[in-house]
Amino acid sequence: MPRSHCYCLSGYIIYFSLLIHTLASPPLHLCLHDQRDALLEFKDEFPIDELDPVPWNKITSTDCCFWKGVTCDDKSGQVISLNLHDTNLNGSLKANSSLFRLQHLRHLNLTGCSLQGEIPSSLGNLSRLTLVDLSQNDLVGEIPSSISNLKRLRYVNLGANELSGEIPFSVGNLNQLRYLILAANMLTGEIPSSLGNLSRLLDLRLSINNLVGQVPAFIGNLTELQVVSLGQNKLNGSVPKSFANLTKLYHISLRSNYLTSTLPFDMSGFHNLEHFDVGNNSFLGSFPKSLFLIPSLQVVNLEDNQFTGTIDFVNTSTSLPNLDYLNLGSNRFHGPIPESISRFLNLGELDLSLNNFTGTIPRSISKLANLDVLDLSDNKLQGQVPGSLWRLTTMTLSRNCFSSFEKPNPSEETLIQALDLNSNSFRGPLPHWFCKIQWLSFLDLSNNLFNGSIPPCLSNSIVSFTCLILRNNSFSGLLPDIFSNATELRSLDVSRNKLEGNLPRSLISCVSLRLVSVESNRIKGQFPSWLGSLPSLHVLILRSNDFYGPLDESVGFESLRVIDLSHNDFTGTLQPHSFSSWRGMTTVREEDDPYMADIINYSTFYRNSMVLVIKGVETSFERIQQDFRAVDISGNRIYGKIPESLCLLKELRLLNLSGNAFTSDIPRSLANLTKLETLDLSSNNLSGQIPQELGELSFLSYMNFSHNLLRGHVPRSTQFQSQRCSSFSDNSGLYGLEEICGETHVLDPTSQQQPEELAESEEPMFNWIAAAVAYGPGVFCGLVIGHIFFNSRYYKLVGEKKLKVTSSAR
């Protein structure tokens, strides 16, 4: 969970509690001189924040008890609280800081203050402290063992820093402690047994660290515990049976560990439980029916385990009115989705993806009036999609066997914003009522059996689209000219259909476009150089169409990273400056991807991937990184020299110029492409020698120079010696192939006979196409669909619970 959401309320709760305390008991005395002097020295340890209109260390009164964040005892005048939460101190706490002269300090809140460095052991000198909050800073080093000197401590929050080392054993001496929050650090080692002494502990949060070992059984003896959060560590083994003693728990998170075994058979004893998260472990066994007998439940996450069998929500008349989030995804559940799902009257998000559910969507799901997000992807569901589901905002039904859908209920408002129906059996023309969906932003209909034309009426709703994915259907006719108002559109993929005509000129209005793929259609026209003015276009796939004419106008395209123009009918020569404006292939900078931070609350099944076609066999390579750069103009009729401007594309990983009519020498400047991994120059009319400098390209793992007029010695380097013999075939003037082809396969330059290995298919051995496309349309849309756990609804629940926890810290 991101740190800003885990801990952002702590400082504010403390602040307002202190403020109420201050207003209720106004100081009767001026603060003491020694206290004032200590505060003045402390403020001088940090620079004034010029951006803060009322900096904490700007003196506004002669009485330090009225300074920002300072609270004094109303009788003695001693400073008892310093609350500087979210103040930009931008410095470190020194071991001899004057802060540690405030010996009567009870509350110290420096959360979110940009503190750096280590926590000084001098903190242990403030023996009257009952509350310490140093969370959301950049503190490093170990937790000082001197913290055990603070015998009065009730609340400790050091979360969301970069603290390392083990949890000090001496923490177990703080027998007044109620709240121990060390989450989101880099702590190692096992959970110390001394924590079993903290019999008054209400809240234990050690999540998002590198803790190892088993979940200790002693935690079950801390019977006052209300919150246990141990998620995202490296804990193993089983959940101790002693956890059954924790009947006051309302929040338990063990997610993302290596926990095994089964859950307790009877969990109904956790009668206060609201949040239960054991996702991303290896739990076994059947569906935990008893868990769903707890009326207080709000969040249940069992995703990514090995639960098996059918699911049964217990056939009773009792509903669970508070359950808001249910995730059973990525398990081995099977059978039908039970009609009893309707018991969860307040359910807002339901994820049953990546299981083996069969049958149809139960009609009772229409009773879930608050359902907002539904993910049923990757199952074996079939039949019709109920019309009642169009009132959801996010629906993911991909990779099932659905064949049709009902029209939306005219009495209900259609609210769908993200709709993923890819890889099903939908067929026939696209219903025209799709054009009436007002808020649709993400639409994926790929890998179905849709046919007919793409309805021009989509122009009514495309104004809100960020992603339109119609890949791999049988749509025919023209790609309609509907994009004049699609200024938010980021990804357009209509690949592998039967579309024809020209690319619609209205695409020039799509100023947010990152990806355009029209691969494997019948689209014609000259190279759309006008797309070069789109400021953010990263991927352009025109592969396998009927484009024709020269490429000498390929200027612009400053953000381009991947371009595939292969298997068209482009002709002419490439000008020396052809690639000089493609700045997106010259550098990789973090700021190149500002849209990646613009993730709205959807989750994706699109993965960064591409497909390589090697000797006619498609092989998918997933998770291609965002720094991937590729140029493929193979299978055209381009001739002349390979332009030297290619050497400017320093981030290029793949270059395919095969199947053209390039002549002259291979430019030595290609050796400047130091990140090149794939180079295919086969089936051209290239002459001269293979540049020896190419042997120094340490990342070059695949190359093909076959079917040219090359001569001379093949470079002797590891990269060249590891290639297949066929990569050099049909170049009668090449020699030095003994180590690559073997002695018996070395050609006699005067012989017309070819060894069998060298006489392989005339097709280029290496081609590539995008499958989802290169980076994945979901990434370019800034969308994720399904698997929504850390989303706004989840944060709201955790945030409210955080309020409940910290407000009682005093």
pLDDT tens for each residue of 211-259:
999 999 999 999 999 999 999 999 999 999 999 999 999 999 999 999 9
- Enumerate residues 6+ apart whose C-beta is below 8 A from 751: none
pLDDT of residue 65: 86
Is residue 347 over pLDDT 60? Answer: yes
pLDDT tens for each residue of 623-676:
345 678 999 999 999 999 999 989 989 999 999 999 999 999 999 999 999 999
String of DSSP letters for 290-338: GGGG-TT--EEE--SS--EE-----S-S---TT--EEE--SSEEEEEPP
End-to-end CA distance of the chain: 26
Our CA angle for 441, 508, 438, nearest 5°, is 25
Closest to 86 (Cα-Cα) out of 110, 118, 57 = 110
Residue found under tokens 């799901």: 365
For range 720-746, the mean pLDDT: 82
* 356-359: strand order across its sheet: 308-309, 332-336, 356-359, 380-385, 401-405
Range of weakest confidence among 36-50, 96-110, 608-622, 724-738:
608-622
Range of weakest confidence among 126-135, 468-477, 547-556:
547-556
Percent of the chain's residues with pLDDT above 90: 62
According to DSSP, the residues that pair with 493 across neighbouring strands are 469, 517
pLDDT tens for each residue of 367-379:
999 999 999 999 9
Distance CA 639, CA 661 (A): 4
Is residue 809 over pLDDT 70? Answer: no
For range 493-504, the mean pLDDT: 96
Distance CA 147, CA 158 (A): 12
For range 277-286, the mean pLDDT: 95
pLDDT tens for each residue of 557-574:
988 999 999 999 999 998
Pseudo-torsion of CA 105, 110, 116, 117, nearest 10°? 30
pLDDT of residue 318: 62
Distance CA 148, CA 155 (A): 13
Is residue 194 over pLDDT 60? Answer: yes
pLDDT of residue 600: 27
pLDDT of residue 316: 54
pLDDT of residue 127: 93
**589 falls in which pLDDT band (50, 70, 90)?**
low
Decide the pairing of beta strands 766-769 and 609-614: antiparallel
pLDDT tens for each residue of 597-612:
232 222 232 333 344 4
- Please name the helix (run of DSSP H) or strand (run of DSSP E) that holds residue 733, with its range, or none: strand 733-735
pLDDT of residue 756: 42
Task: Decide if 394 contacts 418 (C-beta within 8 A).
Answer: yes
Other beta carbons within 10 angstroms of residue 209's beta carbon come to 25
pLDDT of residue 410: 80
More confident residue, 624 or 343: 343
Range of weakest confidence among 338-352, 623-637, 638-652, 750-764:
750-764
pLDDT of residue 60: 61
Most confident of 171-180, 406-415, 433-442, 456-465: 171-180
Report DSSP state, residue 675.
T
Q: Is 81 left (phi over 0), alpha (psi -120 to 50) or beta?
A: beta
pLDDT of residue 50: 64
**49 falls in which pLDDT band (50, 70, 90)?**
low
pTM of the model: 0.84
**297 falls in which pLDDT band (50, 70, 90)?**
very high
- Enumerate residues 6+ apart whose C-beta is below 8 A from 128: 103, 104, 105, 106, 152
**743 falls in which pLDDT band (50, 70, 90)?**
low
Domain locations along the chain: 1-188
pLDDT of residue 747: 47
Distance CA 666, CA 694 (A): 10
pLDDT of residue 789: 31
More confident residue, 671 or 577: 671
For range 492-509, the mean pLDDT: 96
Is residue 98 over pLDDT 80? Answer: yes
At residue 400, the 3 state secondary structure works out as: coil
For range 133-162, the mean pLDDT: 96
pLDDT of residue 474: 96
| The two structure tokens encoding residue 87 | 């103040």
**350 falls in which pLDDT band (50, 70, 90)?**
very high
Is residue 718 over pLDDT 90? Answer: no
For range 457-480, the mean pLDDT: 93
pLDDT tens for each residue of 354-367:
999 999 999 999 99
At residue 488, the 3 state secondary structure works out as: coil
Is residue 151 over pLDDT 60? Answer: yes
Most confident of 394-403, 550-559, 731-740: 394-403
How does the average pLDDT of the chain come out, rounded?
A: 83
Task: Decide if 135 contacts 159 (C-beta within 8 A).
Answer: yes
Is residue 786 over pLDDT 70? Answer: no
pLDDT of residue 409: 80
1-188 carries CATH number 3.40.309.10: no
pLDDT of residue 620: 37
For range 455-465, the mean pLDDT: 89
For range 398-420, the mean pLDDT: 89
| The two structure tokens encoding residue 320 | 């669970």
For range 67-88, the mean pLDDT: 89
Range of weakest confidence among 163-167, 409-413, 652-656, 772-776:
772-776
Task: Decide if 610 contacts 543 (C-beta within 8 A).
Answer: no
Percent of the chain's residues with pLDDT above 70: 80
pLDDT of residue 56: 61
The backbone torsions φ and ψ at residue 638, rounded to the nearest 5 degrees and listed phi first, read -85, 140
pLDDT of residue 266: 87
